[in-house]
C-alpha cells in the first residue's frame, strides 16, 4: 500500500534539488541536441505529418481543438499515433486523417519507453513534421533520433533539445490548453474560448443515461448512490444505466432492471458513442464517457471527487458539475487532491462518501427538467 506523500519519484527528487536539476538539464541538452542534429542532416523528404496523441479516452477529447488547428495550417498527409479506443473518437471529430495504432503493450518499463517493434513502425512513416501532444519520456524515446525535419511539442524541460519548437507542459488549467500551447508555436490564437467550445446539441426525447464508472475508485461516487438517484429521476423521466461488460455482478444488474431502470451494455467505443448520441442528459463521474458527451454537445452532469473541475469542465450552462469541497481537495492550480488523484490509496474517499444523493438530485433535477421530456 502506498502512503500519502511517502513515495518520491526520481524526477521529484531532481526537481527538489536545483543544482542537480540544472546539471541533469544541461547533460540532457548536450546529448539530445547533438543526437537530434546529427539525424536531421538526413531528414526525410516527404509530405507526412505525424501527431503523437496516445491518450486515455477522456484526454483524447481535449486534443481535438489543437489537431483541428494543425489541419488548418498544414496541407500534408496527417497520421495520428493513438491507442485503438481513440480511433472512433478521432474519426467522429476529424476528416482526412490516417491512424497508426499504438497498443498499450508497446509501452514498456512502466510505460516510460516505447518498444523497438513500434519504433520501427514509426520510422517507416517517414515524417517530415511531428507534433508531440504527449510529452515526457515515452515520446522522448521515440523522437530523440528522429529524422523529421521539424518537431513541435510539449514536454518536460529536460527533453527540450529534442524539439525544434518547444513549450514546457503547463500546470495551470485547462487540459485543452496544454495542447493548444503547441499551436501557439505556429500561429497566434486570438480566441481560445471559441476554439475550445463544442457545439450544443440537445435531444429531449432521449433517455437520461447514467455511467457510474471512472478511471479509478477515488473518482467514483458509487453504484448504490447512482441507483438511488436513478430511482428518483425515474419518477419523471426515462432513465438507463450504461456499462461495459463484466463490470458488475448479475445480481446488481438484475436489481437495477427490477427497479424499472433501463440497462445498456456497450462492447466498444462505437457503441458508447451511439448511446450517448441518443440520450437527452448524460450523468457520470469525471471520466472519458462524460468528456465524450460534452464533445457531442449533450447536456451533462459530472460528479467530481479527487480531480479539479477547473481543468476539465466546459463551464457551459448545459454542462454542469458538483463537488464536495474538503480541506484535502485540490487547490486552484492543482490537477488532483493531495493523494494525487489515485496515485496513492485514499483511506476514506470522503469527497465522494459525504456527497449525498439529495445534494446531487437537487442540482441535477433542474437540468433534467430543462432538457428532458417529462413522462406522461
CB-based contact 355:322 (threshold 8 Å): yes
Please give the model's pTM, rounded to 2 decimal places. 0.91
**Which pLDDT does position 12 carry in this prediction?**
61
The continuous run of DSSP H or E covering 52 comes out as: strand 48-52
Is residue 116 within 8 A of residue 145, CB to CB? The reply is: no
Percent of the chain with pLDDT over 90: 74
125 Cβ neighbours under 8 A, 6+ residues apart? 48, 50, 79, 100
Residue 14's pLDDT is 62
Q: What is the DSSP letter of 103?
A: P
**Is residue 162 within 8 Å of residue 144, measured between CB atoms?**
yes
CA angle 171, 94, 66 (to 5 degrees): 25
Domains of the chain: 10-196 (3.40.50.2000), 208-371 (3.40.50.2000)
List Cα–Cα distances, 289 to 90, 266, 272, 321, 329, in angstroms. 14, 12, 8, 14, 23
Give the helix/strand (H/E) hosting 195. Answer: helix 192-196
Q: What's the pLDDT score for residue 349?
A: 84
Could you state, in chain order, the average pLDDT of each consecutive group of 10 residues for the chain (376 residues)?
43 71 91 95 95 96 97 96 98 97 96 95 97 96 96 96 96 94 92 91 97 89 94 96 82 83 92 97 96 97 94 94 92 83 69 95 98 92
pLDDT of residue 322: 97
Q: What are 122-156's pLDDT values in tens digits?
A: 999 999 999 999 999 999 999 999 999 999 999 99
Q: What is the pLDDT of residue 345?
A: 67
pLDDT at 52: 99
Give the pLDDT score at 9.
53
Rounded to a whole number, what is the distance in angstroms from the first to the last CA of the chain?
Answer: 52
Report the largest interatomic distance among the alpha carbons of the chain, rounded to a whole angstrom. 72
Which tens digits make up the pLDDT trace of 186-223?
998 888 989 998 999 999 999 999 999 998 888 999 99
Q: Which of the 8 DSSP states describes residue 204? A: T
Question: What DSSP string describes 331-364?
Answer: -TT-SB-TTTTTTS--SS-HHHHTS-HHHHHHHH
Amino acid at each position: 500500500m502506498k502512503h500519502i506523500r511517502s513515495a518520491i519519484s526520481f524526477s521529484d527528487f531532481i526537481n527538489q534539488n536545483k543544482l542537480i536539476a540544472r546539471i541533469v538539464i544541461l547533460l540532457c541538452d548536450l546529448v539530445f541536441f547533438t543526437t537530434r542534429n546529427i539525424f536531421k542532416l538526413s531528414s526525410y523528404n516527404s509530405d507526412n505529418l505525424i501527431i503523437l496523441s496516445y491518450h486515455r479516452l477522456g484526454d483524447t477529447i481535449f486534443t481535438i481543438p489543437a489537431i483541428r488547428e494543425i489541419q488548418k495550417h498544414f496541407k500534408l498527409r496527417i497520421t495520428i499515433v493513438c491507442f485503438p479506443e481513440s480511433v472512433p473518437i478521432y474519426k467522429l471529430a476529424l476528416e482526412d486523417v490516417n491512424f497508426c495504432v499504438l497498443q498499450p503493450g508497446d509501452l514498456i518499463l512502466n510505460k516510460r519507453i516505447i518498444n523497438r517493434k513500434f519504433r520501427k513502425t514509426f520510422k517507416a512513416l517517414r515524417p517530415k513534421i511531428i507534433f508531440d501532444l504527449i510529452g515526457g519520456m515515452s515520446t522522448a524515446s521515440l523522437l530523440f533520433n528522429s529524422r523529421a525535419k521539424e518537431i513541435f511539442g510539449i514536454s518536460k524541460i529536460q527533453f527540450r533539445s529534442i524539439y525544434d519548437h518547444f513549450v514546457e507542459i503547463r500546470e495551470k488549467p485547462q487540459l485543452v490548453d496544454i495542447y493548444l500551447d503547441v499551436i501557439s508555436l505556429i500561429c497566434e490564437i486570438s480566441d481560445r474560448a471559441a476554439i475550445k467550445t463544442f457545439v450544443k446539441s440537445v435531444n429531449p426525447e432521449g433517455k437520461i443515461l447514467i455511467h457510474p464508472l471512472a478511471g479509478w475508485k477515488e473518482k467514483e461516487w458509487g453504484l448504490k448512490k447512482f441507483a438511488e438517484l436513478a430511482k428518483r429521476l425515474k419518477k419523471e423521466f426515462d432513465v438507463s444505466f450504461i456499462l461495459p461488460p463484466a463490470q458488475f455482478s448479475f445480481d446488481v444488474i438484475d436489481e437495477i432492471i427490477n427497479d424499472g431502470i433501463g440497462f445498456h451494455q456497450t462492447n466498444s467505443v462505437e457503441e458508447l458513442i451511439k448511446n450517448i448520441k441518443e440520450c437527452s442528459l448524460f450523468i457520470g463521474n469525471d471520466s472519458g464517457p462524460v468528456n465524450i458527451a460534452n464533445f457531442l454537445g449533450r447536456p451533462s452532469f459530472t460528479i467530481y471527487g479527487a480531480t479539479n473541475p477547473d481543468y476539465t469542465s466546459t463551464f457551459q450552462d448545459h454542462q454542469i458539475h458538483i463537488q464536495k469541497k474538503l480541506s484535502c481537495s485540490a487547490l486552484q492550480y492543482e490537477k488532483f487532491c493531495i493523494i494525487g488523484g489515485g496515485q496513492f490509496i485514499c483511506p476514506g474517499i470522503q469527497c465522494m462518501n459525504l456527497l449525498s444523493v439529495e445534494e446531487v438530485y437537487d442540482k441535477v433535477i433542474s437540468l433534467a427538467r430543462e432538457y428532458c421530456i417529462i413522462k406522461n
